[in-house]
Structure 1
């Protein structure tokens, strides 16, 4: 017979209770198994955010590179915003830096689908691995002039 726990019934309540137990030093009362699972999940969320932001950034860099006639102010600001948020995310989570090359590869792959949906470009005709260096991804100038 499986018992229903606070973790199963009220996740927020469970998190607050675990925090209270930690603050009061009642370590033997902690729900260790679920705490471990949630801590691992938090780390995976940080990786996912990095991959998602890279996907948006790389998709826009591809549009910028392969559609110079369609460049827009919106693309410039999306590129700038994603660069800034990725840099901030890496500063706040420096242990993600060794994962950056893998995240770029995954983000690039994920960025191809929206590119195919939103532009006349065929993702199958584009490089299937990221053609940009890290300098090009994070530092190359993108200036839009009407």
Structure 2
């Protein structure tokens, strides 16, 4: 990095720099996948886990708000990830659905197989 700052491009280890950038991108994509999956888990809990809703609703809503804000911050810091969010939505929903089925013990048929809303609706704070 010092070589770049100083304009000494001949001394830059380009291969290492490219690997570091690729790893950074992978890390951000994994973080985005995790946040979206967690957001979808909590939305499913709020909508479908009726026996626990009254007791846990405030906490779930707080978590939903937090995950939305974290996703928006990550997208603001790395705008190139925005198209990736659309690519991973279906897989993240499938993962969230499987996790919620395990956590709740509810019948799988209760939870829709397809994503329950558009990406815009899922990320909307209202």
CA shift digits 1:31-60 (9 cap, x unpaired): 211211111121222222111100000011
From 76, 95, 99, the equivalent of 1:114 is: 99
* Structure with larger RCO (C-alpha < 8 A, sep 6+): 2
CA RMSD of superposed structures (Å)? 2.1
Matched with 2:119 is 134
The answer to whether the Cα contact below 8 Å between 1:57 and 1:83 also exists between their aligned partners in 2 is: yes
CA shift digits 1:4-54 (9 cap, x unpaired): xxxxxxxxxxxxxxx222222222122211211111121222222111100
Aligned residues: 123
The answer to whether the Cα contact below 8 Å between 1:59 and 1:115 also exists between their aligned partners in 2 is: yes
For structure 2, the 5+ residue unaligned runs are none
TM-score normalized with structure 1 length: 0.72
Matched with 1:50 is 32
The answer to whether the Cα contact below 8 Å between 1:50 and 1:103 also exists between their aligned partners in 2 is: no
Matches of 1:106 and 1:64 in 2, distance apart? 20
**Closer, same or farther in 2 for the Cα pair 1:33/1:124, shift >3 Å?**
farther
- Give the greater-gyration-radius structure (CA): 1
**Closer, same or farther in 2 for the Cα pair 1:140/1:79, shift >3 Å?**
same
Output aligned runs, 1:1-146, within 5 Å: 19-71=1-53, 72=56, 73-123=58-108, 126-139=111-124, 141=126
Matches of 1:42 and 1:69 in 2, distance apart? 41
The alpha-carbon deviation at position 107 of structure 1 amounts to 1.8
If each structure's helix is expressed as a fraction of its own residues, which one has the higher value? 2
1:45 aligned counterpart, secondary structure: helix
